[in-house]
Structure 1
């Protein structure tokens, strides 16, 4: 393959496609037709001689080559912008990008969220993908398995806690064990999520019978259902309960570790170090590792 055959337009288009993993939404952002975008991506794949994405039913996923191409495309775009800024004697307009999930934004990163930062919202898998492809300069997520291709910097750990109405009998105790939850009706995440899987495993291992009150996606909806008296819930300790609810630590559940994520090659990048410094300052020392 000759580098001269690589289309910078196709690379830029593929970077947008990699953000959405959806041809319709990416084409709308690029203001081109969906077939035109499909042709650009297909020709880029043919030029490289590698598949850039795979299809699993209706879901698309980047291949390892696709991840590398998306990262290269964004790096090239940043270099071109810096070069043009140098030619014109202006400062490059580099806006830091942060990826995290709903819970992290609401209960961990509140003081960091401000104008001037591009925010990307997604679950753990999407946060990792945003960092791998260069879409995000820094990601924040709970990790139970350390990725081998991403630098994971410990930020803070929180206990897992039971959230309940403040007049619930268990609220009278300073802390709880899993056996205290015997017979409880719980508000729990969907069954395929990592939190639900770990929770079911722990309850089963402790021989604790429980029932499902309702499935809820995200801490805010979970807290809402608990406030309505539908059930109790186990959440991360950084979650702030609304008035009328209290939390108690469950001492035999493992602590939840939050990490900042970035590409190893960008450890000294000012966008990465700046965001990381802001996050550490916002967290303070109460739960810092």
Structure 2
């Protein structure tokens, strides 16, 4: 729960906004939202995002009664974020989701009343790398652990959070698969464990001997997302990979390469953990 001062930099990922503190009423509102999010079982990433967005929202309207704020005022606030801080469409949606959660779940306001205008979804295809580009990128790091991290993302088609949550016992070498516990939507699944990846992970284990998490940080806890991002950027620069690529590009490339090699779309959907086949079908447009 929140005590004392809360500054935006504790949670806020967008660095354009200045620091601020919240008054006692806003801190209480934020604490109520955090408690409800935890009780409803929201993921740590969602919890962090909603707390951050609500803090900004509460600061903006801290001198007004939140129950009397209109839909137009909320949309004006979103416009303020867009015009002043040039926030992305993703963050626009994050802010809207957090605000709607507060009004519907904390204040008990009607859902339809806060049907806030959202950015039009761009019809963009996933960015991918060729097999040759992936090979150069994942083999660019000299550090064995770093190579293992990048290779696991690609060879198993993992999301960043799924990689960081892998435990030693999730590598089912006897059965030939990786167990992904609590992926997106808190759904468990199996994904592929190739012989090459298994060999690399065994070499990594011999050198690093992690005790619980497959990839441990210096304190023995989970590896951090920022560290993976740093590893990727270094490999990206060293390999000459396209600058728009991200760790998630490796997951997109995994799916695209499977499809190019004739893998069944339904099987790819299962490996990726997509709830809807329509999400997976977008890769058919990537390969034409």
The alignment's TM-score, normalised by the length of structure 2, stands at 0.30
- Does 1 or 2 have the higher relative contact order (CA < 8 Å, sep 6+)? 1
The alignment's TM-score, normalised by the length of structure 1, stands at 0.30
User: Higher Cα Rg: structure 1 or 2?
Assistant: 1
If each structure's strand is expressed as a fraction of its own residues, which one has the higher value?
A: 1
